[in-house]
Amino acid sequence: MQVTAISNSQSNQQNFQGKINIVNDLSYLPCKYVRKAYSSMEEMIKDKPFDLFIRQNHQNKSISIIAKKPGHLGKINKPFTESIITNASTMDEGNETVDLYTSVARETIKTYDKAFPKISTCKKIKNFLNKLCNKFVSTFQDKDEI
C-alpha cells in the first residue's frame, strides 16, 4: 500500500464545501421552488463551513431554512440560525416565490456568519498562548515585594 505525500500548501488550506440538504420530504410547490432557487443557494453556501438544511413543517404549512454544521443537526445545544417561510405550500407560482427562497437563504447565511464568525486556527492558538502567558506572569510576580 502506498501513501501519497501531502505538501504543506495543501494541508494548511481549509477547503469548505457547504451543501444544501433537504430534511425529510417537500410537497410539490416547495420542491419546485427549491429546485429553481437551488443553483443560486448553492453558489452562496459553497465556501461556507456550514450547510443549509431545508425542512417543511406540514402542520404549519411552512418551510424552515436552517444554517448549521452537518454534525450538529438534531442536537439542541449547537449553534444554528433558522428562517421560516410561512404559507409555503399555498404560495402562487412565479419568480417572486423563487426570489423569496433565495433572499431568505441569503439572510440566513448572513445571520449565521455574524452570530458565529469563523476564527482561524492561528488566531485561536495566539489567543490561547496570550492567556497562558498572562497567567504565568501574574503567578510569578510577587505583588508583596517592594
Digit-coded pLDDT (tens) for 98-145: 888 889 999 998 998 888 877 778 888 888 888 988 888 887 776 655
65 found inside a domain: yes
43 found inside a domain: yes
Is pLDDT above 80 for 91? no
Comparing CA positions, the residue from 64, 63, 41, 66 lying closest to residue 52 is 66
126 found inside a domain: no
130 found inside a domain: no
Is pLDDT above 80 for 58? yes
82 found inside a domain: yes
Model pTM score = 0.66
pLDDT of residue 85: 86
pLDDT of residue 23: 84
Task: Report whether 65 contacts 85 (CB < 8 A).
Answer: yes
CA distance 146 to 142: 9
Mean pLDDT across the stretch 18-40?
85
DSSP of 26-80, one letter per residue?
--HHHHHHHHHHHHHHHHHHTTSSSEEEEEEETTTTEEEEEEE-GGGTT-TTS-E
For the chain, first and last CA: distance in Å?
67
Kindly state the percentage of the chain with pLDDT values over 90: 1
Q: State which amino acid sits at residue 77.
A: N
Domain span holding position 77: 14-117
78 found inside a domain: yes
Number of domains in the chain: 1
